[in-house]
Amino acid sequence: MQEFLATSERRAELYWWFSTLFASELSDEQIAEYDSYDVRSFLKSLATLDPMREAVTELNDAIARLLVRPDRQLELAADFAALFLGDAKLGVPPYESLFCGDQRLLMQAPTARMEARLARLGISVSDKYKEPADHLAIELDLMGNLIIRAAEAGDADGREQWLDEQESLLHEHLLAWVPAFEAECRAKDAFGFYGACARLLGVFLTMDANYLTLVKPAR
């Protein structure tokens, strides 16, 4: 049980970290943290996992370029805006509905499904995010919350319920569109920081899906 709790905390932290990356532009203080011992150790620990090694190396290379980039905060903010806030043809807005939506329904189906999921779970994100419910940062943030709920469950049935919720969100939403988002982000991010982040996220989601398969009780 202690191992499950420790792994849950680690998983939630990763989901929330990725959520922060895609939620808004990084400040100069946040960028500076990537040159700190804590962040270097964090990425080094991820690189010990074989599937993540190459993606972490790519991100470390992008971070090294970022730290010496002139006007790094302004330039990275411009990258963020061009990729995630602009035209969908030139950038890659991080909304599930743009990748899995029904054009006849104005691409709202994934948004409506996420709104229904949040309502069913009794989770409100309106005070934290000013985005539609199918935004990547919201889906990642929700996964972190579901992981903590599983860790805090009082019994095996409650824990399995929250593991089911994680698996459902992962397969019905994130894994249904993030691979396509990752490919576009890598193709359109000339500097490479967000492309490397998207690649690492894609690897992590696949690994996490495998973890859930292993940790859930046999039917």
Least confident of 2-6, 31-35, 82-86: 2-6
Structure token digits, residue 205: 């989601």
The DSSP bridge partners found for residue 135 are: 95
pLDDT tens-digit series, residues 136-171: 999 999 999 999 999 999 888 889 999 999 999 999
> Whole-model pTM?
0.93
Spatial separation of the C-alpha atoms in residues 43 and 96, rounded to whole Å: 27
Q: Which amino acid, one-letter code, is at 209?
A: A
Within its chain, how far is the Cα of 195 from the centroid?
A: 13
Range of the domain at 210: 1-215
CATH number at residue 120: 1.10.3480.10
The count of structural domains within the chain is 1
Spatial separation of the C-alpha atoms in residues 163 and 203, rounded to whole Å: 20
| Separation in Å, CA 19 to CA 3, 137, 139 | 24, 4, 8
Tell me what the pLDDT averaged over the chain comes to: 92
| pLDDT-based confidence at residue 87 (cuts at 50, 70, 90) | confident
Spatial separation of the C-alpha atoms in residues 10 and 27, rounded to whole Å: 24
pLDDT tens-digit series, residues 95-142: 999 987 554 444 568 889 999 999 999 888 777 888 999 999 999 999
pLDDT score recorded for residue 106: 45
